[in-house]
Structure 1
Amino acid sequence: MIDPRTVVNPAQARALLDAVPKVGRKRGPRLKALFACIYYAALRPEEAADLRLRNCTLPETGWGLIVLENARPQGIKRWTDSGQTHESRSLKHRANKETREIPIPPVLVAMLGEHIAEYGTAKDGRIFSTGTGGTYSSSAHSYVWQEARKLALTPAQVASSLAARPYDLRHAAVSLWLNAGVPAPEVAKRAGHSVDVLLRVYAKCMDGQQEQINGKINDALDT
């Protein structure tokens, strides 16, 4: 079950994302849009790491679309088929070659467009890579994130569990969708969960739903 104390609100999320490019000379600027994918599209970090240009529909205006095909988890070289630390694999809880569609808001469409215009893509089409075409390690993600927290949050918040990991941006996204009234089956589909797991894991993060639901029931009874 997700601890609500880790979940940032939209203003805090924006502040954190704005702080990321200020970390380091190269890493921070190259990772802002990746972290934005975790927040605005609820991607797992390993899914964002394998996101490719062909997976994205980025219109000039309005909402776009990500069609996820694979993830790129970090492993141990001797345990991967390729002998590399990172290797493209099928999506979590999905059969081989099964995809997942996530509509993305204009703010993320713009960030991805700006990132691609600035850095291009790796030879295999990956949007997020190091300057030499590699994949940033989880320790690199963590370092940038912790430095961004120091820039964007108060000392008390930095010492707390608030957005302690980049993955907590995904929890914030899913919590936001649920509290905005998006039906659980649609949230589950976008996040790559079953409805049962979704409601069990995020039960404590669904604040204010009871009053909203009671109001809907009253409206239905009055018709």
Structure 2
Amino acid sequence: MPFVAFYHTHKLVVVLFILIYLIKAILLLMGNKDALNKFNKKVKIPEMIVSALLFITGIIMLNNIADFNLIFTIKLTIVVAAIPIAVIAYKKYNKILAVLALIMLISAYGLAEIFKAQFGKRQVVTEVVTDPANEQYNARVHGAALFTAQCIVCHGADGKASFSGAKDLTLSTKSADEIIETIKIGKNTMPKMAGIYSEQELKALADYVNSLR
């Protein structure tokens, strides 16, 4: 599944990109220009590679998204604005701009996670019957669609993958209620879905997860 690979590569380079600028911001805030200059020299090539990968994987991700909403637009705008601000900040040794750029990048990452959750849900709405009152409604099919749209990226199609620290769902001993609670509050790198999915959707998803055992 190429898209999954690109997604995780993109996520990794985003984290590395933010980490590089976090270290730079700390050094700048400490007023240690010599250390900052040395760090800039050491990470110059790695930073160029990370930036290139960020751009390439970002373009690929964009090509796989047909639905742009307000959150995604804001996220994209923040990223585009943050990079030149960061460049100016470290050239001018401007602490305020450096912190601003870092906050913007971290915020963009958070918005990306929110968009991912909402985008996955919208995909399902157009693919399967989601109304329990409809005689064609099938909770297992509904749950499978939700899983494919939202969870497959980390858990894999069979629930056995372990991307981003995901657990092997085929070995899970959790009850449906426990699964629902985990989905709601999130765990480790898994974002919380409370408010994203309805109770019916959570039940359908938990039912499907249990079927993977």
Decide: shared fold, TM above 0.5: no
**Structure 1 or 2: more helix by fraction:** 2
TM-score, normalised by the number of residues in structure 2: 0.31
Bigger fraction of residues in strand:
1
Could you say which structure has the larger radius of gyration?
2
